């Protein structure tokens, strides 16, 4: 297993303490990497695939070895439970997912699952029993590569998955959501009745790679997430008039691409006007009729707008629409605006950030606070429960790519932070 040797090459074994084993974590990361391994040494375990199921089954085996009670719900979510001293108390949950994007990396998702499991292993080795129940969770289909959605498992667990949204979906092969479930031994009825009794759940904490460069720039292994950005997607259509590129004078044109280009240039200055964590991205552009000698008559583009606070995110949405409207009018261009998606941001409470800060400080690490621009299962669970997130430094900020990498030293320090957080909760 190539990942095993590479991770251990520069590992500081002094981090093996209080029952935590870097070598055990490494072996398991490497073993999961072999399931769906691509020719580029990437990961191909899309949601609801036999590869995702095989990865879950391997982790379930390790859960049983760690002394956890293992259950699987109707959505395929896996829970490994340790009852603790007071089984009647609401449980603390930690985990992530094991599915990937096509040809993705080996840390996005699996690290959060295996770090949560490593805490249970450490407790078993040291004889520690937590006060309340603890559950290691694997959520189904976080990435959404199969149906261009995502968070299917976490939404099912909290009761937010709907038949109206999921049943009409088809994958790239034309297979329906129903057929895909049945192919891996699940059912529609089971999927949509897999909601947990939320009164029996206390909180959820997720370890995840940063997928950015902030922690690497400051040289810190882990960071405390302040909130998870909620995206809003706008589809803008700029409509002018197509014409001959040679016979239409410059002062008699309604060039949709000129207007759209000005908008794309100016939209990048808007996020900083509302908050430090806001972002806006034009990620898809279609020019019509797209001919060499034809003035563009229409441009369709998408804008992805995000922030960790609903108020500033929505303020930025309004500013983007206003900017597009003003530019269109100045160029005598018609504008159509359609909102195609909106997800509420999830700010992480100061109380939960404070608990993580104490855990980070206890490991001799200076707390670094940063937002999450990407969505995570914690974002969904955060609709109904207190959540916390620990980010682990990512090399060069690369993610969703075979080159995705976090050092074992940083990963194990994240396990110690998680362990301390759970014990002192």
Assign 1 a pLDDT band (cuts: 50, 70, 90): low
List the beta bridge partners of residue 90. Answer: none
Under 8 Å between Cβ of 372 and 190? no
Q: Reduce the DSSP state of residue 393 to 3 states and report it.
A: coil
> Given this model, what pLDDT does residue 7 score?
93
Residue 2's pLDDT is: 74
Per residue in 194-249, pLDDT tens?
A: 999 999 999 999 999 999 999 999 999 999 999 999 899 999 999 999 999 999 99
Cα(305)–Cα(206) distance, integer angstroms? 24
Helices (H), 1-94: 2-8, 22-33, 50-65
The whole-number average pLDDT for the span 30-45 is: 96
- On the question of pLDDT at 411 being above 80, the answer is yes
Rounded Cα distance, 142 and 156, in Å: 11
Residue 127 φ/ψ region, left for φ over 0, alpha for ψ in the -120 to 50 degree band, beta for the rest: left
pTM for this entry: 0.89
Vertex 397 angle, CA 222 and 279, to 5°? 95
Q: Residue 148's pLDDT is what?
A: 83
Q: Are strands 134-139 and 91-97 parallel, antiparallel or unpaired?
A: parallel
Domains of the chain (ranges; CATH) run 2-228+345-424 (3.40.630.10), 230-342 (3.30.70.360)
Q: What percent of the chain has pLDDT over 70?
A: 100
Looking at the predicted structure, is the pLDDT value of residue 267 above 90?
A: yes
Q: pLDDT class for 373, splitting at 50, 70, 90?
A: confident
Return the closest-CA partner of residue 226 out of 390, 364, 97, 109: 390
- pLDDT beyond 90 at 343: no
DSSP string, 296-317: --EEEEEEEEEESSHHHHHHHH
First-to-last C-alpha distance (Å) of the chain = 37
């Amino acid at each position: 297993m190539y990942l095993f040797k590479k991770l251990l090459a520069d590992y500081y074994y002094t981090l093996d303490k209080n029952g935590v084993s870097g070598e055990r974590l490494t072996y398991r990361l490497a073993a999961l990497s072999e399931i769906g391994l691509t020719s580029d040494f990437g990961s191909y375990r899309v949601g609801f695939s036999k590869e995702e199921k095989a990865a879950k089954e391997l982790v379930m085996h390790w859960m049983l070895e760690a002394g956890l009670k293992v259950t699987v719900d109707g959505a395929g979510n896996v829970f490994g439970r340790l009852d603790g001293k007071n089984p009647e108390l609401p449980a603390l949950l930690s985990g992530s997912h094991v599915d990937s994007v096509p040809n993705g990396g080996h840390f996005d998702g699996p690290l959060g699952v295996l770090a949560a499991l490593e805490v249970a292993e450490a407790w078993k080795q040291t004889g520690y029993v937590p006060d309340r129940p603890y559950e290691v969770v694997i959520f189904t289909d976080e990435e959404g590569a199969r149906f261009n959605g995502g968070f299917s498992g976490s939404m099912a667990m909290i009761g937010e998955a709907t038949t109206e949204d999921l049943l009409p979906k088809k994958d790239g092969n034309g297979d329906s959501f129903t057929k895909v479930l049945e192919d891996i031994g699940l059912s529609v009825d089971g999927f949509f009745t897999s909601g947990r009794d939320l009164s029996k759940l206390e909180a959820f904490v997720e370890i995840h790679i940063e997928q950015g460069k902030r922690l690497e720039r400051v040289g810190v292994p882990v960071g405390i997430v302040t909130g998870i950005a909620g995206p809003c997607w706008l589809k803008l259509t700029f409509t002018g008039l197509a014409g001959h590129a040679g016979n239409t004078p410059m002062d008699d044109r309604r060039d949709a691409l000129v207007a759209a280009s000005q908008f794309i240039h100016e939209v990048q200055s808007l996020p900083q006007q509302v908050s430090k964590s806001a972002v806006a991205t034009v990620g898809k552009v279609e020019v019509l009729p797209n001919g060499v000698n034809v003035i563009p008559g229409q441009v369709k583009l998408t804008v992805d707008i995000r922030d960790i606070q609903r108020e500033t995110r929505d303020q930025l949405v309004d500013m983007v629409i206003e900017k597009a409207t003003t530019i269109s009018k100045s160029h005598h261009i018609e504008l159509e605006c359609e909102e195609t998606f909106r997800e509420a941001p999830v700010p992480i409470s100061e109380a939960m950030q404070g608990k993580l800060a104490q855990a980070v400080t206890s490991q001799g690490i200076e707390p670094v606070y940063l937002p999450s621009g990407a969505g995570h299962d914690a974002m969904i669970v955060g609709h109904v429960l207190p959540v916390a997130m620990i980010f682990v430094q990512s090399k060069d900020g690369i993610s969703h790519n075979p080159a995705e990498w976090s050092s074992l030293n940083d990963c194990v320090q994240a396990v110690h932070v998680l362990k301390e957080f759970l014990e002192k909760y």
